[in-house]
Amino acid sequence: MTTIVLPYMLDFYPLQDEDNTRIHQFYASLREGKLMTTKCKDCGGLFWPPRVACPGCNSDQFEWVELPGEGELYAFTAMLLGAPMGMEKDVPFVLGMVQLDGTEFKVLSRIGNTKYEDCSLGMRVKLETYDLEDGRVWFRFVPITSD
């Protein structure tokens, strides 16, 4: 069970355990380095982020499928001024939309291990997961280096 230190009004991160969300499997998988989402067993619809009811066919029968952990930068920028509370210390940071290989999804993410000046459209990136201070897990993408 996640312990939230009060006040937590400005907690940005989702509550991740099974006491709080029905998609806790997503976070458990993320901890293993996998980006998963739900696929509808009835209509085959693949949605991001994970669902508990299918917006396509109204089914509630899903299976977990792994999304590609790699993709390319569809767009990117950097946060230089005006970051939200708790993220000021990260400034400047790069944000990008990652077109996951073979999917329609352009997942918005921090792009770590790089600077804005070193990024380019189409740059190859891969998933990286990390632990938050309170024990929760989160993800970002980082450039795929040639070595």
Partner 1 sequence: MKNVAIVACGLAPFGVRKATWRELVQEASKAVFDDVQNLDKKDIDSLFVGAAMPERFAFQSHVAPLVAEQVGIVPHKVVTRTELACSSGQSAVRTAWASIVTGLSDIALCLGVEKMNMPNMLETQTSMACVLEREWDGVQGASAPPFFAMCAQRHMHEYGTTVEQMAMVSEKNHHFSTTNPYAQFQKEIPAEKVLGSPMIAPPLRLFDCSGITDGAAAVILTSEERAKEFTDTPAYIIGSGQCSMASNLANYKSLSTWHPLKIAAKEAYRSAKIGPMDLDFAELHDCFTISEIIEYEDAGFCEKGEGGKFIEEGQSNIGGKMPVNTRGGLLGTGHPLGATGIGQIVEIMQQFRSTVPKERLVDGAEMAMSHNLSGAANVHSILVFGRSPR
Interface residue list for partner 1 (CB under 8 A):
10, 12-14, 48-49, 74-88, 90, 93, 95-97, 104-110, 116, 121, 138, 140
Tell the smallest beta-carbon distance from residue 95 to partner 1 (Å). 5
Whole-number Å distance between alpha carbons of 104 and 47 = 10
Query: Which lies closer to partner 1 via its Cβ, residue 10 or residue 147?
Result: 10
Query: Which lies closer to partner 1 via its Cβ, residue 118 or residue 147?
Result: 118
Query: Which lies closer to partner 1 via its Cβ, residue 97 or residue 146?
Result: 97
Q: What is the DSSP letter of 114?
A: S
Query: Which lies closer to partner 1 via its Cβ, residue 5 or residue 146?
Result: 5
For residues 111 and 73, is the Cβ–Cβ distance under 8 A? yes
Helix ranges restricted to H, the chain: 24-31
Amino acid type, 141: F
Whole-number Å distance between alpha carbons of 125 and 71 = 6
Lookup: tokens for 45 = 């619809």
